[in-house]
Structure 1
Amino acid sequence: MNTSLIGILFAVLAVLFAIFIEGASLFAFFKISSLFLILGGTAGATFASYSMAEIRKFQIHFLEAMGIGRDLDLKKTFQKFIEIARRDGLLALEEEIGRINHPFLSKGVRLVVDGSDPRTLEEILIEAAEESEEEDKLSAKVLETAGGFSPTVGIIGTVLGLVHVLENLGAGTAALGQGIATAFIATFYGIAFANLLFLPLSNKLKSYAKKKSRERHAIIRGIVSLQAGENKRILLERMEPFLDE
């Protein structure tokens, strides 16, 4: 089960339980206008901070980090590659390239099939791994940026609400108190979304980036070993330090 979803759900329930204990009405904390301002304002400010290509990559990385998509079993995949290479030679791996749903691994196998020099192959893959790692980190930065904007947008909402209250000072004490309470809902939303949603998910993407970095280094070790014609045990030993249990 996804720990991020469990954690966020637990945090939200804790806030709701605290509101209930205080005896406040849950409906008093539900304001469509404030919700629209926080989500719309934060999304707009965040999107304005990045290019469309970076936003698209963020969407892909986010879905992957949340477990939407099937992980590749690298050990079984390389065991299959070794069997094919021993039986039919390295060139036979070309037929497997189209079946690999992993761009980095596909790139490595292609370099092997093309007969690249071992040193050149390793240098190309290391450079590609570093570039991919920077993209993964940038995706985490997108949510971190949203977590920074959200409380500020909440303050904007509060200021707007207080301006409306000041325009209606003659409405009576009860109406004045209700107006002030409503104004501060925007700040509540801004802080809550930042600390209970955006920043935790940003940390999730950072953790995912580290995992993918280790996975790419495992692939590099496996590709180099495969090209060198090493046996299955040695190949897996080279990959093992970079693979999660």
Structure 2
Amino acid sequence: MMEGGNPMSLLLLPPMLLVLGTTIMVTIAGGTVADAKAAGKNIGRAMSGKVEPADALVPQVVSLAERARREGLLALEDSLRDIDDPFLVKGVTMAIDGTDPDDVRDILEAELRAKKRDDKQAAKFFGDAGAYSPTIGIIGTVMGLVHVLENLASPEELGHLIAGAFVATLWGVMSANVIWLPLSSRLKRLGELECARMEVAIEGVAAIQAGANPRLVAEKLRSLLPTGTVEREAA
């Protein structure tokens, strides 16, 4: 390409469809259709990369802890309107309703475990696709070369057929390293950041119910923040 080649020669539809289509089908065969649907729904999430930072939750929790200590848990009902995190709102609402602290923690941690499980499965789907794709590309190349050997009597077609054969390997390797594996890694990281925020909410609700000192609450929650967050906040 850098020496005057035509980039369109890489966009041969048959090898592209063979590699991408077969990769998706084989990956689905290794799991369930439900896994594939769940993974598909996460593509937009991975592309946007939007995730609310865990450190943004700390001031909100500390503010709730201060008010709860000063006015009691029931006073927090009005404050919930200013909280934009549904998970934190759910935990504080249970606390206001008088739910036992152990039950509140159990419910929130069960939701966190379910979140981790779903994120792990979505990332695994794309990771599996990245593992299968290069091999499928090689299979496509072998199939293409077999077709080349069948057409040795037509020399004018050999160049196009050989190019198509090797493009399959290219798309197998390229789709693995440019599409599938980056998607998998992105979803893993987004899941880690989202779960860190949920962990902050869980510990925050527990501290609010216990009537803990707001300063201690802030220090404890900051200790849960992902690497780099504390330094950024201190800067």
Q: Distance in 2 between matches of 1:98 and 1:220?
A: 19
Q: Does the 8 Å CA contact 2:51/2:190 hold for their aligned counterparts? A: no
* Structure 1 runs not aligned, ≥5 long: 1-18
Out of 115, 127, 137, the residue aligned to residue 154 of structure 1 is: 137
Give identity over the alignment, percent.
37
> Structure 2 counterpart of 1:20, which letter?
M
> In the TM superposition, what are the counterparts of 1:12-23 in structure 2 within 5 Å?
19-21=1-3
> In the TM superposition, what are the counterparts of 1:137-152 in structure 2 within 5 Å?
137-152=120-135
Q: Which has the higher contact order (CA 8 A, sep 6+)?
A: 2
> Structure 1 counterpart of 2:160, which letter?
Q
Structure 2 SS opposite 1:160? helix
Out of 9, 27, 31, the residue aligned to residue 12 of structure 2 is: 31
Change (3 A) 1:54 1:241: farther
Deviations 1:163-212 (A, max 9, x none): 3212211012x532432222110111011110222112212222222223
Q: Is 1:227 equivalent to 2:209 in the alignment? A: yes
- Provide the TM-score with structure 2 as the length reference: 0.79
Structure 1 SS opposite 2:162? helix
CA drift of 1:100 comes to 5.5
What is residue 109 of structure 2 aligned with on the other side?
126
Question: How many residues align structurally?
Answer: 225
Structure 1 SS opposite 2:2? helix
What is residue 196 of structure 2 aligned with on the other side?
214
Structure 2 SS opposite 1:124? helix
> In the TM superposition, what are the counterparts of 1:234-245 in structure 2 within 5 Å?
234-244=216-226, 245=229
Q: Is 1:40 equivalent to 2:21 in the alignment? A: yes
Change (3 A) 1:45 1:214: same
Q: Does the 8 Å CA contact 1:218/1:239 hold for their aligned counterparts? A: yes
* Structure 2 runs not aligned, ≥5 long: 230-235
Change (3 A) 1:71 1:59: farther
Q: Distance in 2 between matches of 1:57 and 1:109?
A: 29
Q: Distance in 1 between matches of 2:38 and 2:108?
A: 20
CA drift of 1:140 comes to 0.8
